[in-house]
Amino acid sequence: MKTLKVALIQQPCPDPPDEARHISDEAVRRAAERGARLIVLPELHCGPYFCQQEQSETFDRAEPIPGPATDHFSALARELDIVLIISLFERRAAGLCHNTALVIERDGTIAGRYRKMHIPDDPGYYEKFYFTPGDLGFEPIATSVGKLGLLICWDQWYPEAARLMALAGAEILIYPTAIGWDARDDETEQKRQLDAWHTVQRGHAIANGLPLVAVNRVGHESDPSGSSPGITFWGNSFACGPQGEMLAEGGVEKTELLADIDLRRGEQVRRIWPFLRDRRIDAYGDLLKRFRD
């Protein structure tokens, strides 16, 4: 059986960027020492989640690809002989930036990139101010460890994104994430949100017969303006199999989670639950509409 040891790096992401990078480096090294061959970092792990406010000077954080972050993590992947997924604020041109995840191969080369397609705009998550919607589509990235269906955070609520990755041949769905609680919500509401986050993604795994990895950051990050209580990132990173079975699950603390994922199990599951076979593609035209009035 083709078993892949995957590490989920659940970390805080402080300023300055050198400190966040050091936290990532140390966690990646520990995971590699424990045998991980694919290592996934959380969304925008090179520093604080800056989208709590709209501030034009924040665009100074964006960087090109290749650039300082890609050079640094490419060298790390090459040294450790791992496939590494990183996430950064990509500067494509003046006034044109993306929320981008990159797959770095074992030799340090960039295997591919994914630009976040679904961009939120909610209190504390003002991403539309910073990020242009992705234009690379839903294309898996071929690597030495398999075809990776890479998506980012808000994408995780959309079954269409997971399905299109599956239809394009992805062998595993991967979601770097930055999601947390508003302290003004009570514990019951916070639990509902976390349960929904787990449930919808496990549903994507089940509906597509694929394993799935979701990697979140942890820790409290203050609102720079002081107008809100900030965000407490809830962690709870997890990996599940193609029937939604939990393979690894974290709590709210900094950690490296390891999961052994059988990439061939999807074949077995799809034989007994042939959802792709039974899709009524002749009847789905209305999915291209925003809403049926």
What are the CA-CA distances from residue 73 to residues 16, 30, 66, 111, 178 (Å)?
A: 17, 15, 11, 13, 20
Q: Which of 90, 116, 127, 240 is catalytic?
A: 116
Residues 156 and 214: beta-carbon distance below 8 Å: yes
In terms of Cβ atoms closer than 10 Å to its own Cβ (0-12, 13-18, 19+), residue 93 is exposed
| Alpha helices in the chain, H assignment, sequence order | 17-33, 68-80, 159-167, 187-208, 265-272
For residue 29, the SS3 value is: helix
Q: Which two tokens stand for residue 64?
A: 């090109």
Residues 72 and 21: beta-carbon distance below 8 Å: yes
For residue 156, the SS3 value is: helix
> What is the rounded CA–CA span in Å between residue 174 and residue 254?
19
Question: Measuring CA to CA, which residue among 167, 239, 242 is closest to residue 204?
Answer: 242
Q: Which of 153, 221, 240, 256 is catalytic?
A: 153
> What is the rounded CA–CA span in Å between residue 232 and residue 95?
29
**Catalytic site residue 116?**
yes
The CB density around residue 95, as the number of other CB atoms within 10 Å, is 8
**Pairing state between β 212-216 and 172-177:** parallel
Q: Which of 43, 90, 171, 221 is catalytic?
A: 43
Specify the residue for token string 């394993």: 211
Catalytic residue set: 43, 116, 153
